[in-house]
């Protein structure tokens, strides 16, 4: 495979430059790839005009300013909310994101773990164990437990299928109508309350956009059946965190597995840290995997170098 002309700039505080560079070189040997570092210190880059491609996760404001020949921005992850709303995006440069099957598998694994944890009442047994109690509770059969997955995209659709394969009764919700084997699919805001009212376990897998920010407010969370479990692996700002905390405290929401928060890291002293019915993980439900994502990134770079439209393009007007 020949490598296109132009340099690729990399920026991420979470991902190792050398690993991504080597993974990309496996598909684009000889391509010039430079590291702007965790801080996106483009001052280190001697010739910003040579940069045609940017592979970045949350680059700092002004990152793209001097890249006058930029042809493609590749978001180093699935969620593009931190990118699409920025004022410093160069006009007319397409944005793509990673939609890697391995990333979807990792996410589905987390959702399955969290769903089973709630369905099998593992928090109850963990707490009983700490008290030294043999606290038998007869297991419920999975088909009696209704799981609702909000967001049926690259990640949500696979997660819904995996949960369905375990025998749960699964509902899905998206903006436009979707069809997933064994999953009862709903679409549009007018159907959301119906979905929430039936969700013994609610899985949030929506992108954060102007339409979805704060979507799960106090009124909507209150529609969940009493004792429902909440799993948020998408973005904290989709949920009214103060209302969620109140509802967890009074037991209306029975338990939660939370990977994302309104503010990350979750501030020390936040009441969620100390709640026995909450499991907190530090935003790692799924990550972009270099070995499996590099080919789609390379394919897109080659497409753009041939003046073709890239795949997996984000629609900034839609926000995802
Ligand atoms: P996609 O863009 O592939 O899918 C988004 C889904 O949400 C689609 O089904 C879409 O509907 C639906 N949706 C969007 N807006 C609305 C709306 N207003 N009303 C109803 N449904 C809506 O996203 P992914 O599946 O790839 O990722 C989902 C999110 O997961 C990411 O945006 C990111 O925030 C988060 N994430 C979290 C990670 C973590 O480690 N915690 C890791 C990776 C991602 P339609 O089908 O009609 O388009």
Is ligand 1 within 6 A of the CB of residue 37?
Answer: no
Give the orientation angle of helix 154-165 with respect to helix 101-119, to 10 degrees: 40
Is ligand 1 within 6 A of the CB of residue 320?
Answer: yes
Ligand 1 center–CA 228 separation, angstroms: 22
Same domain (yes/no): 85, 107: no
Summary mean pLDDT of the chain: 95
Q: What is the per-residue pLDDT for 304?
A: 97
Q: What is the per-residue pLDDT for 24?
A: 98
**pLDDT (tens digit, 9 = 90+) per residue, 205-222?**
999 999 999 999 999 999
CB 195 within 8 A of CB 178: no
Give the orientation angle of helix 122-130 with respect to helix 101-119, to 10 degrees: 60
Residue 256 lies in a domain: yes
Specify the ligand 1 atom closest to the Cα of 207.
32
Mean pLDDT of 11-31: 95
Confidence of residue 46 (pLDDT cuts 50, 70, 90): confident
Which stretch of DSSP H or E encloses residue 9?
strand 7-11
Specify the ligand 1 atom closest to the Cα of 233.
41
Res 39 pLDDT > 80: no
Q: Which CATH number is 220's domain given? A: 3.40.50.720
**pLDDT (tens digit, 9 = 90+) per residue, 235-275?**
999 999 999 999 999 999 999 999 999 999 999 999 999 99
Is ligand 1 within 6 A of the CB of residue 151?
Answer: yes
Residue 143 lies in a domain: yes
CB 243 within 8 A of CB 215: no
Same domain (yes/no): 197, 185: yes
Same domain (yes/no): 111, 41: no
Confidence of residue 88 (pLDDT cuts 50, 70, 90): confident
Res 40 pLDDT > 80: no
Query: Exposed, middle or buried by CB within 10 Å (0-12, 13-18, 19+), for 155?
Result: buried
Q: What is the per-residue pLDDT for 320?
A: 96
Using DSSP, how many helices (H) and how many strands (E) does the chain show? Answer: 9, 12
Structural domain including 37 reads 7-100+288-305
Res 37 pLDDT > 90: no
Proportion of the chain above pLDDT 70, given as a percent: 97
Query: Exposed, middle or buried by CB within 10 Å (0-12, 13-18, 19+), for 187?
Result: middle
Residues tagged active-site: 235, 283
Ligand 1 center–CA 78 separation, angstroms: 8
Q: What is the per-residue pLDDT for 87?
A: 84
Same domain (yes/no): 106, 90: no
Proportion of the chain above pLDDT 90, given as a percent: 91
Res 41 pLDDT > 70: no
Nearest CA to ligand 1 atom 4: 153
Is ligand 1 within 6 A of the CB of residue 236?
Answer: no
Residue to substitute in 97, 103, 151 for testing ligand 1 pocket (most ligand atoms within 8 angstroms of CB): 151
- How many domains, in total, are found in the chain? 2
């Amino acid at each position: 495979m020949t490598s296109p002309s132009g340099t690729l700039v990399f920026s991420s505080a979470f991902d190792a430059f050398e690993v991504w560079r080597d993974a990309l070189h496996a598909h684009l040997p000889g391509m010039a790839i430079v590291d702007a570092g965790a801080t996106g210190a483009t001052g280190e880059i001697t010739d910003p005009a040579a940069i045609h491609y940017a592979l970045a996760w949350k680059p700092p404001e002004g990152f793209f300013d001097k890249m006058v020949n930029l042809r493609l921005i590749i978001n180093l992850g699935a969620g593009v909310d931190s990118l699409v709303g920025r004022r410093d995006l160069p006009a007319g440069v397409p944005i793509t994101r990673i939609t890697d099957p391995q990333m979807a598998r990792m996410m589905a694994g987390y959702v399955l773990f969290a769903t089973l944890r709630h369905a099998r009442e593992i928090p109850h047994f963990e707490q009983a164990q700490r008290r030294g109690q043999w606290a038998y509770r007869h297991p419920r059969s999975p088909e009696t437990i209704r799981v609702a997955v909000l967001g049926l995209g690259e990640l949500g659709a696979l997660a819904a299928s995996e949960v369905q394969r375990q025998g749960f009764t699964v509902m899905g919700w998206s903006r436009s109508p979707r069809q997933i084997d064994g999953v009862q699919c709903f679409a549009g805001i007018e159907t959301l309350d119906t979905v929430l009212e039936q969700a013994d376990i609610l899985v949030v897998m929506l992108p954060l956009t102007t339409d979805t920010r704060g979507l799960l407010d106090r009124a909507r969370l209150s529609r969940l059946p009493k004792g429902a479990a909440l799993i948020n692996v998408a973005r904290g700002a989709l949920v009214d965190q103060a209302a969620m905390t109140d509802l967890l405290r009074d037991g209306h929401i029975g338990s939660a597995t939370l990977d994302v928060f309104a503010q990350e890291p979750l501030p020390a002293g936040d009441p969620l840290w100390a709640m026995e019915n909450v499991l907190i993980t530090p935003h790692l439900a799924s990550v972009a995997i270099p070995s499996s994502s590099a080919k789609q990134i390379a394919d897109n770079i080659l497409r753009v170098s041939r003046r073709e439209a890239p795949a997996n393009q984000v629609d900034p007007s839609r926000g995802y």
